[in-house]
Amino acid sequence: MSDSSAEAPFSPSTKTEFQQYLIENPSHRRVSQSERDQFLQWLTADVTRPSSQKEFSRRNYVRRSFIWDDITSEIHTTTGSNEEGNRVLVTDDCIMDVVESVHIRNQHAGWDRTWNDIRKSYYGILRADVIFLLRRCLVCAKDPRKRPKDSTRAFCDGLSDNDTASGLFALDDFINEHSTA
């Protein structure tokens, strides 16, 4: 049992804490199951009329920003000028599983590295979510040498507050920030 990467990074109580954290720190950058269903309908069918101007705008935004991949049955971001295309949309119930698998794959690299690995490939996860979970990684806790020193210094305890604030975007801000038109 010398291979620490085989250990589960998160305890069952971390799962409970994280679910509570998601409820207490809502963000339009995360996507719930029902939102994903709505995205999917907008991306694959054209039967419903938007009920409002707001929905019309949102639907257009979603159609510009995401595509449905029939083969993988996933929603991806489109390649835009922000160079963040082709990321897989992750619903909020899967955030922990994704962070766990990426963090195991990068062999318990630090917060920066794990966040960068996630940001490159996935949409719908906040940096604060990653840090919330990595702080509770049982393997990293046992072996703090695995955390790069600059990572722990760069993100001291003030971070989650900042990210919470930036996570509370109104939808319009969200659209403005992500559209370049």
Q: Which residue has the tokens 């990210």?
A: 163
Spatial distance between the Cα atoms of 58 and 52, rounded to a whole number of angstroms = 10
Which of 140, 155, 163, 175 lies at the binding interface for Zn ion (CB under 5 A)?
Answer: 140
Look up residue 87 and give its two tokens.
């990321």
- Judge whether 69 and 76 are in contact, CB under 8 Å: yes
Examine residue 139 and tell whether it contacts Zn ion (CB under 5 A): yes
Q: Min. distance of Cβ 123 from Zn ion in angstroms?
A: 23
CB nearer to Zn ion: pick between 21 and 61: 21
Q: Min. distance of Cβ 132 from Zn ion in angstroms?
A: 13
Cα distances (Å, whole numbers) of residue 158 to 19, 28, 48: 21, 21, 44
Q: Min. distance of Cβ 166 from Zn ion in angstroms?
A: 25
DSSP 143: -
Which of 36, 87, 108, 147 lies at the binding interface for Zn ion (CB under 5 A)?
Answer: 108
CB nearer to Zn ion: pick between 137 and 175: 137
Q: Which residue has the tokens 């207490």?
A: 24
Q: Min. distance of Cβ 144 from Zn ion in angstroms?
A: 10
Spatial distance between the Cα atoms of 68 and 63, rounded to a whole number of angstroms = 10
Interface mask (CB under 5 A) for Zn ion, residues 118-137, using x and -? -------------------x
Residues of this chain that bind Zn ion (CB under 5 A): 108, 137, 139-140
